[in-house]
Each structure stands twice: as structure tokens, then as C-alpha cells.
Structure 1
Amino acid sequence: MGDGNMFDWYSDLGKDGRRTFWACFGGYALDALDVQIYSMAIPVLIGISFITKAEAGTIATSTLVLSAVGGWLAGIMADRLGRVRTLQITVLWFAVFTALCGLTTGFWGLLVCRGLQGLGFGGEWAAGAVLIGEVVSARNRGKVVGFVQGSWAAGWGLAVVLATLILTFLPQDYAWRCLFLIGILPAISTFFIRRHVDEPEAFTKVQKDVGSTPGTLAIFGPHLWWTTLRCSLLALGAQGGYYAITTWLPTFLQAERHITVIGSFSYLLVVVIGSFFGYIVSAYLNDALGRRIGFIAFAIGSGVVVYTYTHLPVSDAMMMVLGFPLGFFSSGIFSGMGPLLTEMYPTEVRAAGQGFCYNVGRGLAAFFPMVVGMAASALGLGNAIGIFAAGAYGVVLLAALLLPETKGRELSSYSDFVARDVPKSGLVKVGA
């Protein structure tokens, strides 16, 4: 046990747990780097007529749709092949296809490469979230998984810094290609994962009893269908709001606020810093107050801030100030996602359940960037972002009110889950 400080959870992980933590932290940060590179490149690609605004939204949507497919497939793989092996495969996959985006010659090539990149980036979350969720104790799960989720801000910040430097000092016709080629870097992390990270004990234990495995479709069965529906709605709302904002934020700053690439760097950096603190504060709140209240508070905060940021006639200085709460709330809402999904599913189908819910939500949320891009011509980009983001956070509120509180819940096998779920009358409870 620790000595009472706020980082006791790190000591409690032990040597193997800390290796797993850094593997998942690094993998997700590099995932964010590769994903956010595209958002940073959009203004340049439109400016040099490589793609149109509508095509940019279509590419973003196709990537997210395929990431939903990749996330569910990776979840199934993680339950069959193992969490660690699946994490390796997905990181290598999204790194290679991000780099290939830099070699494309037009819309269709970029669409294909970016879509295939999405398969890996969706899969990485599914494998990494269940991996870290299974190696940490129930009392610290919110904090540990929240810190891993916070690595997204680190990767996003790195993307902002690299993009600003490259797009400023290199000719635009070549700069965006260099930006995508940098995306190969995450492939290096697969060597660390292979050598230093082991499968969680919870997973290896159920693998010894193959006969008890219920099969992937159990997440739609009588004991889990209601869980799957509610968790998918939660993921849809959180990601719909997030992607409506972050996909178009660099373009909004440059096209509607008329802020240059160099000028937008400071605005985006404030959002990224706010995101990091949002992840961390939310991580501690999830263990202190519970998952549900965290989702409700951050959904309300996100809706209010994004509306203010995109609709009210504020000064550039106030825009920068608002960037912190914008990042804080829209990103912090995700810290509870991994712990909640880990606790809602039994070990045998945990990765499949997490992978499906998070990524079917992402797949449906994928249409938000495309719809925002299409609606921008009639409503204006700021109005379109604000309207669709606010609607998405309303979905989060609904899902949070329907879900149970899982703070402190110990992980269980499918047989234990069924025994708890079926009362003596033999009727199946669907409210848990």
C-alpha cells in the first residue's frame, strides 16, 4: 500500500503493472498523434485544392466508421489471441497506414489509406483499455485508466507542435506529406510491448477453462443486451461531441476567426492543456464520486462551453481563455469510459463488449464530422459544430441516467455474472 499521497495507485501497480501502464499510455498517445495529424492537415489540403471541405469531412467519417469495425474485430481478437498480442498488431497497423497517407496523390488514395488506418486506431483502444483495466485494482481503476486516457492529450499536443513546425517551415505542397510520414513512429513501440508486457492474470485464468467461454455473441444475449445498448449510447454521445469539435477546430480558427497557422498554435495548445487536466481531474472524480456523476457533470460542462465557444461573439483573447474549459470538459468525459466498460462485462467477453460499444458509438459518431462539413455551407462552421456537439452531449446525459454505478465493482467471470444476474425466480434482470 502507498503512504497516502495522490499517486499511491502507481506504486500499487507493481513492476509488471507499471510496464503495462506505460505500454498502454504510450500506445494511446501515439494513436492520438496519428489521428490528430489529419485534423492539422485539413486546412492545408483544402488550401492547395488537394481535397474539398466536403471531401475532408467524408475522409474523417470513413476513418471513424472503419475504426468502429476495427475496434470490434480487435475486441474479438483480444478475447481469443490475447490483449498484448492484439495491442501490438493494432499499433503497427495504424502506424503503417498513417505513413502511407503521405504518399497518396488525390482524394481516393487518401480516403483508402486513411480508412485502413482507422481499422488499427479503433482496435488499439479496444485492446489497450481492457488490458490496463484488468491489471489494476477496483479501487484505483478510475485513476489508472483515466491517466492512460489522458495520454491522448499528450499525443494531440505533440501533433500540434509537429504540425506547427512542419507547416510553417516547409512548402505546403510537401509539408503535409512529411506530417503523415511521421506517423510511422508508433511502430517502434511494438518492440517494447512484445518484450516487456504480459497478459493480465484475469485473462489467463479464464483461458485455462475453455469450456466456460460463452462466445462473442453473448454481448447481445439475454444477460448483456441491455448493457450493450446503454454503453453504446454513452460512447456515441461522448465521441459525437468530441469529433464534431476537434475535427474542425483548426479549420474553424483559421477560416472563421482568421487566425494564422502560427496564431492558431497557441489556441490549440490551450485546448490540449485543458484536455490533459480534464482527463486527470475526471480520473480522480471517477474513483471518488462515481462514474455516473462524472459523465453527467462533464456532459453539461461540454455542452455549455462548446456553445459559448462557437456561437457567442467573443474576442480572440476570450477565445483563448475558453479553450481551456473546452478541452477540459470534452476530453475529461472519456476518463470514465474505460473503467465503466471494463466493469460492465465479464472477463470472457470483456474485450468484445468494450470493443463493440466504444466503437459502434464511434462508428455512428463518425457521421458528425461529415454532417458538420455539409451543414457548414448553410449554417456556418461555428454554428454547425455547436449544434451537433450539443445534441451529442444530450445523448450522454440520457445514457448516464440509464446506467448503474459501477465504482468499486470487482471483475467477474461469465458464470459469476450470470449467477448474479439471475434471481431465484429464474427471470433475467436487465437493469444491472
Structure 2
Amino acid sequence: FMQNKGENKLLISLLIAFFLGGFELTVSGSLNQIIASTFNSPSMAPLVISAYLAGSVIGSFLFGILVDSFGRKRTLEIGLIVFVLASSLIAISSNAFEFLILQGIQGLAIGGDSTAASPTIVEMIGKNWRGKAFVIVSTVWFLGDMLASIIGLYLLSFLPPSEVWRYSYLFALFLVIPFVFIRFTLKESQVWKEFGVIKRKFTSLQKRNIILFTVISSIDSIVAYVFPFILIPDFIAPYLGFS
């Protein structure tokens, strides 16, 4: 770890965003059929991951604006608070529409939090550790993937499938709560204090281009995941002998 305790605390507080990104994506992708069957809506399965990805892309865009307008610290606090609220409600969601809305909000929080974390690392972690910090947070994403798989398999060994996804979301909820308190003890980026108050005014054409880019990015992210990981496997599974 770094010698500066403040930088250590900052990095630890940022790890949770990338961990949750991997964790929630795996839960959504691997348990989407179970979630759909819980709500008696087979057609909902591809939308489980689509809602999360769409929320992530939109969150990245929105939080990119927030992080420059309101500061790194405040935006990071907002990201985890939104995630906590969405996770607490999604675990007790009672219908498909409610679940998909909350799933999108979860994605928005994680996508936005990851976006806010990047400039925070650049501005608040020393140059000797900056590159290592990005490697660490990227690795933590895959640890989230792995832990989600392990927890899912463990829960399936003694819980009915319809309850496994609910407990998986609750696990993420309780895991993130301590990090919320850590976030509130962080200091604001000095770089943002000095330069972040200068707001750039976009022309109407620039605003339209940004909105168009956001829509295209959302569609691209959804298609890039849904087709290779959900629709195509579902299509070829019967031909391979899987039900």
C-alpha cells in the first residue's frame, strides 16, 4: 500500500465501485433466466442485463457532468447512496417492471461511480502509484465477477432459485454500506477546487451531439453484451443438447 494514509483510504473507497460493477454484471447475466421466471415473464430475461447496461452508460454520461459541476467527493457520495437505495428496493421488488427500473438505477449508480472514480485517481493519488491504482481497480472488477459466481453457486445449494438473486443483491447492499461512510470522510480534490468551478458552456449543436453520442453508446453497449452472451447462447443451446 501507499505510504500516504489518505491515498490508501481513497483507493479503498474507490475499489467498491469497480467490484460492484463486476459483481452486479455477473448476477444480472447469470441469473437473468431465474429472475425472469420469478416474475413469470420469460421475455424479460434479455432485459435484465440490458437495463443494467443502459443505466451504466447513461450514468457514465450524467455523472461525468456532475463530477465537474459538484466535485469529486460529492459525486462519489451520491453514487453509493443511489446504489444502496436501489439495491434495498430491488431485493424486494414484486414485479418485472419494478425490477427493471431499479436495475437501471443500479446500473446508473455503478456506471456513474466508476466514471467519477477515474479523475479522482488521477488528481488525488501520487504519480508513483497512479498507474498501479488503475491496475488494482481493474483487477477488483474481475474479483467481483468471481465472487458473484461463487456466492450464486453456494446459495443455489440450499435456497430455491427464486430467492438466490434476491440474496445476491442483498449481499452487495450490505457489502457497500461501510464504504459509504468512508466516502463521507474523504477530502475534495484540490485540482477540482482550483479549476472545477469554471463551467464550460456548450452550444446547442454540441448538446445535441452529446445526446446523440449517449444514445448510440447505450445501444452499442446493450447489443454488444446481449447478442454474444444472452441471445446467441439461448439460440444455439437446444442444438447442443442443453435445455
Q: Is the aligned partner of 1:371 residue 2:233?
A: no
Q: Is the aligned partner of 1:36 residue 2:22?
A: no
Q: Which amino acid aligns with 2:57?
A: A
Q: How many residues align?
A: 233
Output aligned runs, 1:279-318, within 5 Å.
none
Shift of 1:89: 0.9
Q: Which amino acid aligns with 2:34?
A: V
Does the Cα contact within 8 Å between 2:52 and 2:107 map onto a contact in 1? Answer: yes
Point out the structure with max Rg over C-alpha.
Answer: 1
Q: Residues 135 and 371 (structure 1 numbering): CA distance in 2 closer, same or farther, change over 3 Å?
A: same
Shift of 1:138: 4.5
The TM-score with structure 2 as length reference comes to 0.80
Q: Is the aligned partner of 1:67 residue 2:56?
A: yes
Q: Is the aligned partner of 1:87 residue 2:84?
A: no
Shift of 1:49: 7.0
Q: Is the aligned partner of 1:176 residue 2:32?
A: no
Shift of 1:198: 1.1
Distance 2:234 2:26 in 1: 24
Gaps of 5+ in 2: none
Shift of 1:118: 1.6
Partner of residue 5 from structure 2, selected from 15, 19, 23: 15
Shift of 1:370: 3.3
Shift of 1:137: 4.0
Counterpart in 1 of 2:200?
Answer: 214
Shift of 1:360: 6.6
Output aligned runs, 1:301-380, within 5 Å.
361=217, 364-372=220-228, 373-376=230-233, 378=235, 380=236
Q: Which amino acid aligns with 1:141?
A: R
Over the residues paired in the alignment, what is the CA RMSD in angstroms? 3.2
Q: Is the aligned partner of 1:45 residue 2:35?
A: yes
Shift of 1:42: 2.2
Q: Is the aligned partner of 1:149 residue 2:138?
A: yes
Distance 2:192 2:150 in 1: 38
Q: Residues 95 and 33 (structure 1 numbering): CA distance in 2 closer, same or farther, change over 3 Å?
A: farther
Distance 2:154 2:31 in 1: 12
Q: Which amino acid aligns with 1:191?
A: F
Shift of 1:194: 0.3
Distance 2:50 2:180 in 1: 27
Shift of 1:19: 1.5
Shift of 1:376: 4.4
Structure with larger RCO (C-alpha < 8 A, sep 6+): 2
Percent identical among aligned pairs is 20
Distance 2:38 2:102 in 1: 20
Shift of 1:60: 1.1
SS at match of 1:112: helix
Q: Which amino acid aligns with 2:184?
A: R
Output aligned runs, 1:84-163, within 5 Å.
84-138=73-127, 140-163=129-152
Distance 1:360 1:90 in 2: 23
Shift of 1:107: 2.4
Gaps of 5+ in 1: 1-6, 233-355, 384-432
Distance 1:148 1:217 in 2: 35
SS at match of 2:92: coil
SS at match of 2:94: coil
